[in-house]
């Protein structure tokens, strides 16, 4: 499909993409770029790339596709370094969780003869690093592309084919809209999870050990998403500030209303609110995005115990 693909940043996503490309034979050559020489060595030793370098300018030479898999905050610097070395007609893409700010950061630094097509594969685990990647990570996951109005259709098609070959379902979206939707489905939930786990971390030591012991009663679900990569999430919140703060504002208002109902002992308000939220779960199950799970699947962090 491609003669040469460069992947910049070999963490969980970058290394998983490399594995999927190798498994599906989507490129003749994969070049690894990572600022960490040790990671470069590891990637070569694991056979995840044909060549590896810490220098983006060197690494992108001759590649038809360059995918930035670094944290969002590092992308601008990478673009500065590699910009002039990009070959004519190359596709530049990324895997960042925010899209508007990525476009704003990259667009001015790229030569006009390349195609910038930002992408966001909605996939991951709470583990970071190239050793945790796996080729199946993207199977049945969404991958959202946010091309601009002037982007060449043929380039969009080519990138679509790559992600579909990795097993993803590709969706085209406006970057602002992407940031709003992910703000509520992903960024706000992560912020909330980080907060509640942080609140527990600050508890007195004796209670903290019991929180760990009895975590299966609800808390545990939050700890998994609050164990995600801190650098990545710092950059998400710095780069999707407006959408996150807007959704957080709504959340806080709703939380205050529930708090007031608890304080006043307003059982009717609580009951009505708790009934409405069941519908969304049902819609998610109907949409094939979740299934009924028995709580004895212990490995799966799944029970809604009380």
Residues 191 to 210: which contact its own copies by CB under 8 A? Answer: 191-203, 207-208, 210
Q: Counting contacts by CB under 8 A, is residue 274 touching its own copies?
A: yes
C-alpha of 239 from chain center: 13
Q: Kindly write down the DSSP assignment for every residue of 56-85, as one continuous string.
A: HHHHTTT-SEEEE-S-GGGHHHHHHHHGGG
Cβ(143)–Cβ(115) below 8 Å: no
Q: Counting contacts by CB under 8 A, is residue 141 touching its own copies?
A: yes
CB of 77 to its own copies, least distance (A): 15
Sort strands 119-121 and 51-53 into parallel, antiparallel or unpaired.
Answer: unpaired
Give the DSSP H/E element, type plus range, for residue 210.
helix 205-213
Q: Interior CA angle at 106 toward 245 and 22, to 5°?
A: 100
Structure tokens at 188: 């706000």
For its own copies, the closer CB: 153 or 287: 287
For its own copies, the closer CB: 38 or 291: 291
Q: Counting contacts by CB under 8 A, is residue 148 touching its own copies?
A: no
Q: Which of 73, 80, 87, 158 touches its own copies by CB under 8 A? A: 73
Say how many Å lie between the first and final Cα of the chain, rounded: 51
Q: Of the candidates 85, 160, 86, 87, which has an alpha carbon nearest to the alpha carbon of residue 117?
A: 160
Binding part of the chain for its own copies, among 21-29, 52-60, 116-124, 157-165 by CB under 8 A, reads 116-124
Q: Counting contacts by CB under 8 A, is residue 163 touching its own copies?
A: no
Q: Counting contacts by CB under 8 A, is residue 252 touching its own copies?
A: yes
For its own copies, the closer CB: 33 or 123: 123
Q: Counting contacts by CB under 8 A, is residue 258 touching its own copies?
A: yes
Phi, psi (5° rounding) for residue 181? -65, -45
For its own copies, the closer CB: 115 or 178: 178
Q: Which of 44, 109, 226, 246 touches its own copies by CB under 8 A? A: 226
What is the C-alpha separation between 158 and 152, in angstroms, rounded? 10
For its own copies, the closer CB: 107 or 195: 195
Number of residues that bind its own copies (CB under 8 A): 118
Q: Counting contacts by CB under 8 A, is residue 224 touching its own copies?
A: yes
CB of 123 to its own copies, least distance (A): 5
3-class secondary-structure state, position 114: coil
What is the C-alpha separation between 178 and 72, in angstroms, rounded? 15
Q: Counting contacts by CB under 8 A, is residue 291 touching its own copies?
A: yes
For its own copies, the closer CB: 148 or 199: 199
Q: Counting contacts by CB under 8 A, is residue 277 touching its own copies?
A: yes
Q: Counting contacts by CB under 8 A, is residue 25 touching its own copies?
A: no
Q: Counting contacts by CB under 8 A, is residue 225 touching its own copies?
A: yes
Binding part of the chain for its own copies, among 1-9, 22-30, 43-51, 184-192 by CB under 8 A, reads 184-192
Ranges of H-type helices in 107-152: none
Phi, psi (5° rounding) for residue 40? -55, -45
Q: Which of 53, 97, 101, 146 touches its own copies by CB under 8 A? A: 97
Residues belonging to the chain = 306
Q: Counting contacts by CB under 8 A, is residue 68 touching its own copies?
A: no
Tell me which DSSP letter residue 217 carries: G
């Amino acid at each position: 499909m491609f003669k040469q693909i460069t992947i910049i940043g070999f963490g969980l996503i970058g290394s998983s993409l490399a594995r999927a490309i190798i498994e599906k034979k989507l490129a003749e050559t994969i070049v690894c770029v990572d600022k960490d020489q040790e990671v470069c060595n590891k990637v070569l030793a694991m056979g995840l790339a044909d060549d590896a370098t810490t220098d983006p300018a060197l690494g992108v030479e001759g590649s038809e596709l360059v995918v930035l898999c670094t944290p969002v905050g590092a992308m601008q610097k990478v673009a500065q370094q590699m910009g002039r070395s990009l070959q004519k007609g190359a596709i530049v893409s990324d895997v960042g969780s925010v899209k508007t700010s990525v476009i704003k950061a990259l667009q001015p630094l790229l030569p006009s003869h390349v195609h910038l097509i930002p992408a966001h594969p909605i996939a991951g685990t709470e583990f970071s690093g190239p050793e945790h990647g796996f080729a199946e990570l993207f199977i049945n996951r969404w991958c959202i592309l946010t091309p601009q109005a002037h982007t060449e259709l043929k380039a969009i098609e080519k990138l679509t084919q790559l992600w579909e070959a990795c097993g993803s379902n590709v969706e085209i979206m406006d970057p602002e809209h992407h940031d709003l939707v992910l703000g509520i489905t992903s960024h706000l939930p992560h912020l909330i999870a980080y907060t509640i786990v942080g609140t527990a971390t600050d508890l007195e030591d004796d209670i903290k050990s019991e929180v760990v012991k009895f975590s299966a009663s609800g808390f545990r679900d939050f700890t998994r998403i609050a164990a995600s990569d801190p650098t990545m999430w710092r950059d998400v919140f710095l780069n999707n500030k407006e959408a996150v703060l807007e959704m957080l504002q709504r959340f806080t208002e709703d939380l205050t209303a529930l708090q007031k109902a608890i304080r006043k002992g307003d059982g009717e308000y609580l009951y009505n609110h708790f009934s409405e939220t069941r519908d969304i779960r049902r819609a998610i199950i109907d949409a094939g995005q979740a299934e009924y799970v028995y709580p004895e699947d212990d490995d799966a962090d799944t029970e809604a115990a009380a």
